[in-house]
Chains A and B, each alone.
Chain A
Amino acid sequence: MNTANGTSSGVSLVVRGLRKSFDGQEVLKGLDLDVKPGEIFVIMGPSGSGKSVLLKHLIGLEPADAGEILVNGESITSPEIAAKYRMALVFQSGALLSSLTVGENVGLYLSEHRLKTPEEIRAIVAEKLAAVGLADAIDKTPAELSGGMKKRVAIARALVIEPQLILYDEPTSELDPLSSVVIGEEILSLNQRTGVTSLLVSHDRDLAFGVADRIAIIFEGVILTIGTPDEIRNFKDPKVQKFLHADFKRDRP
């Protein structure tokens, strides 16, 4: 990744027949996906449906049992892929290094790969933190931040890489509705500014229908359907409808 070319336009992502089992239990059962360059693609599904496992495969953290993942037509397992394309994952928990300050976390990619001078790194870090509205947090430690702030710092850390593909794992989980809107706006604004391909996994219906160009519904390791937000709303499958319209049923006097 450290020698990646300077273009910031999004890349395509293709998944074919992806399978993964843990201890004999099949979590991904032959997934197929096509994400277009510059698209915001949301994968929705209930907890335990294989969303986060899929994401780990897409960034190369987990090896697949079968199938292939192609970034701009090149396999994710290719040794050159990291050097050719810049990819970033925004973890559900933020996954900020607790031993570093916010500024050090955001600048870690640049400092570890010696891509810029310390002064340049500090300027870039300040710019990226300002972009997510956290310019004042540069010298704080992750322990001093709220859940929403941690996620925004994680987005700033991803921005530093100038990614061509950015993956978000449950970007609005554990957040209040206002913070969720802020995160959603960040995702949209980043996509519009840089043309990055964005792939989100989430079970937040408001976020998915608010930001997605297309949505895939995943159930028990298989993709049930893929379509635009309107197509998904009108998809007649009872499981999808139940997931999309799940609500409390309370008898009121």
Chain B
Amino acid sequence: MFDNIGQIILLFWRTLAALPHAWRQRQKVFEQFFEIGNASLLMVCVLSFFIGATIALVTGPVMVERSLSSAVGGVVGYAIAKELAPIMMAILIAGRIGSAMAAEIGSMRVYQEVDALRTMNINPIHYLVLPRVLAIAIALPMLVTVSILVGWFGGAVVANCNNLMGIPFKVFFADLRDVVELQDVLHGLIKSFFFSLIIGVVSCHQGLTTIGGPRGIGRSVTKAVVNSIVLVVFTDYILTLLLTRILHK
């Protein structure tokens, strides 16, 4: 992966430079955005509900035992908004959408469709990369917003229904409101925006550098997902450090 980091940065830079063409590609951006939403929304809701539910299940009983039942909503809300929703959705989207992007562009590369674009003087970055990166950069923060809300709800349901906790919804959300500030949600959304750029650019790069036949496409898909997740986790640490200093002074 690290051999390609320079190429990935270069592709990111060229995609940025292609931004003035974004309006011309709006139809493709919309199609990709619809594809991402359509393919992921249900999964995002299910996954987020159970992430919230599990966090409540893991932390709730321990806190109730120590007479901290009124803090469960805050812990669940804080963890989901700042860390779990952005990172889990990034991993989900890398697996679901990043892999599809790498496979589609990889197949176009192998079957000379990318070369055909070049011979028609159509820049593959404008035509293939820009719409996908833009769509994912719009979609991921929106999916993370949904994920945060559903995750909170999942946590509240378990905190309420579990015999060891039995925390009323009102108490759960009152504590959540006390603890979680707008900056915490913003923290998660900003991170998800950067994650989306990583997933989009890494997946498109893998697609565009695919060589060989179907086996090459398979290799590219695997590398796109693995490299995206590794870079997302690494970037998560750096961004958390930076955003904590910037947003939470």
Contact = CB atoms under 8 A, between A and B. Distances in A.
Interface of A: 1-2, 56, 59-61, 82, 87-89, 91, 93, 95-99, 108-109, 112-114, 157, 161
21 contacts: A2-B121, A61-B118, A82-B121, A88-B120, A89-B115, A91-B112, A91-B116, A93-B112, A95-B115, A95-B116, A97-B108, A97-B113, A97-B116, A97-B117, A99-B104, A108-B120, A108-B122, A109-B120, A109-B122, A112-B127, A161-B120
Contacts of A99: 104
A207 to B, nearest CB: 21
Interface in B87-146: 104, 107-108, 111-113, 115-122, 127
Contacts of B122: 108-109, 112-113
Contacts of A1: 120-121
Given A91-B115, A98-B113, 10 more contacts: A1-B120, A82-B121, A87-B119, A89-B115, A95-B116, A98-B108, A109-B120, A113-B121, A114-B24, A161-B120
A89 B113 contact: no
Interface of B: 24, 104, 107-108, 111-113, 115-122, 127
Interface of A is mostly: loop
Contacts of A97: 108, 113, 116-117
A4 to B, nearest CB: 9
Contacts of B107: 98
A1 B119 CA distance: 9
B121 to A, nearest CB: 4
Contacts of B111: 93, 95, 98
B127 A96 contact: no
Contacts of A59: 119
Nearest to A59: B119
A95 B112 contact: yes
A113 B121 CA distance: 9
A91 B119 CA distance: 10
Nearest to B120: A109
Q: With a 10 A CB-CB cut-off, give which of B24, B107, B116 has the most chain A CB atoms.
A: B116
A174 to B, nearest CB: 14
A61 B115 CA distance: 7
Contact of A61 (B104, B113, B119): B119
B119 A112 contact: no
A33 to B, nearest CB: 19
Contacts of B113: 95-98
B177 to A, nearest CB: 46
Q: With a 10 A CB-CB cut-off, give which of B104, B121, B122 has the most chain A CB atoms.
A: B121
A113 B123 CA distance: 11
A61 B114 CA distance: 10
The 7 tightest CB contacts between A and B, nearest first, are A1-B121, A95-B116, A95-B112, A109-B120, A89-B119, A112-B122, A91-B112
A89 B114 CA distance: 13
A82 to B, nearest CB: 5
Contacts of A2: 121
Contacts of B24: 114
A96 B112 CA distance: 9
Nearest to B114: A95
A137 B120 CA distance: 22
